[in-house]
Structure 1
Amino acid sequence: MRKRQVDGAGGAFRPAPVEYGAAVDRYLTAAGLGNASLRVYRISLHGWAWPLVDRRAPIGRERRGARPPVVPLAVLDAPKAPERLQRGLADRASAAQPRTVARELACLRSATAWWLARGWIATDPAIRLEPATQLSDAALVLSDAPTAVRETAVGPDRARAVLALRAPLRELTLWHLLHESRAPVERVLALDIDHLDLPGRRTRERAAGALGWGPGTARLLPLLLAGRTAGPVFVTDRRAPATTPAADRCPVTGRGRLSYRRAAELFTAATGPLDPAGRGWTLLVLRDRAVPATART
């Protein structure tokens, strides 16, 4: 007998999907995306169906209207699934802009994490995918900034240099939010998803202390939260221990709330190349020339 799964709070029990396309539809329904984002996510996720069956995906105009192959969802648990997806990633990178590849890999990772949390797949074949550049999570880079930044950046230029770095989506979102809101790190890391008013670029009244942000954060947050509707905004890379309080654990992925210590460690490591002394900076540099909340558009 197949597993049955509740889709969302108060939802009816439904059989777990057996086909990749059906799993994509269920994920996108739960994600609560706007029409434009929904279309982008659907095209991106359907594009991964071809490499899962060792076929090359269409490119250019043919990609948008192409009907993906029917793929059993169980194929994601096959031993060769990560290898097939890695080949598909390399193939896509040869035909698309880095930002496009970044977005499509982010879409896949969000979806597979959501399916894994529901028990629809037993392993996550996307968790170790890396683009050809071999940068850690560089495929999630969403910034238009140049890849090279001045190593001698000082004073107000430090925040600008940090936000031009290639970095994982989670870190990039956190840095933009700290920079644009000027909020203490502890307050930002304590945010839960239901605290956020994404269209208004601010926190709701239930949040502890008003907090607003600018266009950089507004662009990144929806991608970071795709597929998640509750729990901490910023979560760890791995599942939290069983002893972790429910308030500090994502109900979708099981990952725990990101700690100040870990966020600081990652920031110092990432900014090492920018620091003339090679030691890296602290998160406080993100307050340099911060964008005030009143400047939101």
Structure 2
Amino acid sequence: MTMHESVLLKETIEGLDIRPGDVVVDGTLGRAGHAIEAAKSARAKGGDAFIVGIDRDSDALAESEAKLKSAGIEAKLFKGNFRDMGEFVSKAGKSSADKIILDLGVSSPHIDSSGRGFSFKKDEPLLMTMEKEPTADSFTARDIVNGWAEEDIANVIYAYGEERYARRIAKAIAARRTDRPIETTSDLVSVIESAVPGMYKRGKIHPATRTFQALRIAVNDELGSLKKGLDAAFGALSQGGRLAVISFHSLEDRIVKTAMKEWAKAGRGEQLAKKPVAPGDEEIARNPRSRSAKLRIFIKN
């Protein structure tokens, strides 16, 4: 099993200032790294916090449940999307949350071993769904690359991947699928590599990185969910409560930054710091996936 290391863990827990009796909602529970540290932080101050965990992945929930139980941490876990946070807080028997954590990164197990096509480094079915077992009705990355108009594909790759060669890549995808469908990650990688200049292939990041990001965001409506999720989180937060959001690319951070600025402008609270917190060199060396992470914390009035 691939281990997932929680990003900006120390900075998040310190910034949230978790206290005994707090209701702590982890809206992106994953493998419970942040949730467990939140509970430990409360215990270090003399009492327990109550954890509410939300995740779309049943495997992650099962693993987290075992970890939390082993640590003797009281928690209520729910399968779902954090945009429905208010509903889950109510189901947990609580009226509001004192501290909320949203880690927007795709967990390492999803990338490395889901078998659903999140990584361009493995030959897997091109699905990119968060569901463990997609159904015939599930919307997948295959649907986009094989069914969407070339212009729509280019727009998605440009808007969600910020890919400079989006039009070239979309044109190559449209040409390839007339011969045979693009079914796997390897199929798509070969199409992308055929479309971009040689110098781009030798750059710092793999030439497929931005296209894969764009397709994943589109398949899972990540930006739409984030906007709704931020509103839901703010609504669920108690007076004086704190919301911590860790983003991993500029599109996400822009949405988070804008939401927090609007809340502050409306007199509904303030950001803990004007600038986001980024990982240090030591964390980046230990966990290269953390390099683009940004942490923002908002305190509600």
The bucket for the TM-score relative to the shorter chain is under 0.3
TM-score normalised by structure 2 residue count: 0.25
